[in-house]
């Protein structure tokens, strides 16, 4: 069958075969490259979020170490639902929580 093809047709057929084989070999590499690029982007974003949270925790740790009375009171009231002796706590339902 190759004997009936002209030189141009043979060159075209060989070029197509080379492109097909190259695509098969490099196709997975390109997909891996794109996936890895996306993963780096996602992890970089997550790292920034964790850095912000780490700074917040460092600030809170400093306030706790200093035993800042206002901060301690705020934590007691918000996290542990504590009230001072003689105080009454009022709780209101949020209109959105039906």
For residue 38 the two structure tokens come to 């996306």
72 phi, psi to nearest 5 deg: -60, -40
Q: Give pLDDT, residue 57.
A: 93
Q: CB count, 10 Å around CB of 22? A: 10
Let me know if residue 3 belongs to a domain. Answer: no
Reported confidence tier of residue 47, pLDDT bands at 50, 70, 90: very high
Q: Which domain holds residue 65?
A: 12-80
Q: Measured between alpha carbons, how far apart are the two ends of the chain, in Å? A: 78
Let me know if residue 51 belongs to a domain. Answer: yes
Let me know if residue 64 belongs to a domain. Answer: yes
The model carries a pTM of: 0.49
């Amino acid at each position: 069958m190759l004997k009936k093809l002209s030189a141009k047709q043979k060159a075209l057929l060989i070029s197509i075969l080379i492109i097909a084989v190259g695509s098969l070999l490099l196709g997975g590499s390109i997909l891996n490259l794109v996936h890895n690029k996306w993963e780096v982007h996602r992890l970089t974003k997550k790292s920034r979020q964790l850095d912000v949270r780490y700074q917040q925790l460092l600030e809170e740790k400093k306030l706790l170490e200093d035993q800042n009375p206002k901060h301690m009171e705020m934590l007691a009231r918000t996290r542990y639902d504590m009230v001072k002796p003689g105080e009454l706590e009022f709780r209101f339902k949020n209109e959105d929580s039906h």
